[in-house]
A = this chain, B = another copy of it.
Amino acid sequence: MKNLFIENMTWEEYANITEENVLIIPIGATEQHSRHLPLSVDNVISVNFAQRLAKELNGFIAPALSYGYKSNPTSGGGPLFPGTIDLNGNTLTILVQDILNEFIKDGWKKIILLNSHYENQAFLAEAADLVIKDQQEEFPKIVLASWWDNISEDVMPQIFDERPFRGWDLEHAAITETSLMMYFEPDLVKNDLLTDEGIENVPRYQRYPVSKTLIPKSGALYTSISSTPEKGKIIVDDVVDNFLVFFREEFSLEELAY
């Protein structure tokens, strides 16, 4: 397997790849993921997707961002759980702005922000906008994408075969994330601690200070029962296929012939 991570290259090797190739920046969070998953779930998922994509797109992977924006109770369990290390919104935005500016200065024209922590979304978009906003040309181009937005409709019944799908917000430490972790890093999953816990009625609003009783003690927002590594593979294969369609289109890439 060729070297996909720029951090393992010398600057000379790196200097040869910036102009024509795709750079993938994996972005996650350090955040509670119930009793059965580690704090690194969002990072592990981003980095593993990045590796699959890098192989398919002739791309390269930048050092991941392991700390993300504040966990929201109804999509991540919230700030009250130990192990949830939250950045302020402005901090994440200027961090990503600096990094994007530097990679663009090095010649990268095709950049993917690959995000697996929902709450990061708005602040990553803000960073990309602030970097690009006065640009008239189409390139450099930055694409911000998340795996959950790119699962095919027809795959969903295979994932939610035993338990119904209740919305992406609740898929925190639930079936999809657990299955992905079983597939990517099975050693980091405590299979004996999967639970059927979750929030019954999801509030349709946000409140501050956050509720101390809303989230189950485990931190899970929805059941992880019925997770399997096979489901993880189904998701990955499907999402990567869908990702490839638009990344190739946006970046005017040929399909690789092996």
Using a CB–CB cutoff of 8 Å, the interface residues on chain A facing chain B are 6-12, 14-15, 18, 30, 32-40, 43, 62-64, 66-67, 70, 72, 79, 81-91, 93-95, 98-99, 102-103, 106-107, 119, 121-123, 125-126, 128-133, 135, 138, 141-146, 149-150, 188, 190, 193, 203-209, 219, 242, 246, 250
Contacts and interface: CB of A to CB of B under 8 A. Distances in A.
A10 B30 contact: no
Nearest to A32: B11
Nearest to A81: B11
Given A11-B81, A150-B204, 16 more contacts: A10-B35, A10-B36, A10-B39, A14-B39, A30-B62, A43-B63, A89-B90, A95-B95, A119-B122, A132-B208, A132-B209, A133-B209, A135-B209, A142-B207, A143-B208, A145-B204
A86 B102 contact: yes
Contact of A63 (B40, B94, B123, B188): B40
A19 to B, nearest CB: 10
Nearest to A203: B246
30 contacts: A6-B30, A7-B39, A7-B43, A9-B38, A9-B39, A10-B33, A10-B35, A10-B193, A11-B219, A63-B67, A72-B125, A79-B129, A82-B106, A82-B107, A83-B106, A84-B102, A85-B99, A87-B99, A89-B89, A89-B90, A90-B90, A91-B94, A121-B122, A129-B208, A132-B208, A132-B209, A141-B208, A141-B209, A150-B205, A204-B246
B40 A8 contact: yes
Contacts of A84: 11, 102
Nearest to A6: B39
B82 A122 contact: no
B206 A83 contact: no
Contacts of A90: 89-90, 93-94
Given A67-B63, A207-B141, A12 B35 contact: yes
Contacts of A87: 95, 98-99
B40 A143 contact: no
Given A30-B63, A88-B98, A205-B144, A188 B131 contact: no
